[in-house]
Amino acid sequence: MSENNTFQEIADAIRAHDSFIVLSHIRPDGDAIGSQIALGHALEQMGKTVHYINEDGTPDNLTFLPGSDKVQTPPAEPLDVQVAIALDCATKPRLGDNALNAASKATLWINIDHHVSNPKYGDLNHIDSISPATGQILYNLITEQELPFSELTRDAIYVAVSTDTGSFQYSNTTAATYEMAADLVRRGIDVGTINALTYDNNPYRRIELLRSLLNTLELEQGGKVAHWELPNSVKEELNLKPEDSEDLIDLIRGIQGVIVAAFFEELPDGKIRVSLRAKDSSVNCSELAQRFKGGGHARAAGIRMPGPLDNARTKVLAAIDGMLNAE
Coil, strand or helix at 52: strand
pTM equals: 0.89
Per-residue pLDDT of the chain (327 residues; tens, 9 = 90+): 468 999 999 999 999 999 999 999 999 999 999 999 999 999 999 999 999 999 999 999 999 999 999 999 999 999 999 999 999 999 999 999 999 999 999 999 999 999 988 999 999 999 999 999 999 999 999 999 999 999 999 999 999 999 999 899 888 899 999 999 999 999 999 999 999 999 999 999 999 999 999 999 999 999 999 999 999 999 999 999 989 998 899 999 999 999 999 999 999 999 999 999 999 888 999 999 999 999 888 889 999 999 999 999 999 999 999 999 876
Which domains, and CATH codes, for the chain?
A: 7-199 (3.90.1640.10), 204-325 (3.10.310.30)
Strand 272-278 relative to strand 295-296, pairing: unpaired
Question: For the chain, how far is it from start to end, CA to CA, in angstroms?
Answer: 30
Confirm if 106 and 121 have CB atoms less than 8 A apart.
no
Residue 2: what pLDDT? 67
The identity of residue 217, as a single letter, is L
Alpha carbons 106 and 103: distance in angstroms, whole number: 6
Alpha carbons 306 and 327: distance in angstroms, whole number: 29
The burial of 302, by beta-carbon neighbours within 10 Å (0-12 exposed, 13-18 middle, 19 or more buried), is given as: buried
Alpha carbons 277 and 113: distance in angstroms, whole number: 20
The burial of 169, by beta-carbon neighbours within 10 Å (0-12 exposed, 13-18 middle, 19 or more buried), is given as: exposed
294: region left, alpha or beta (phi > 0 left; psi from -120 to 50 alpha): beta
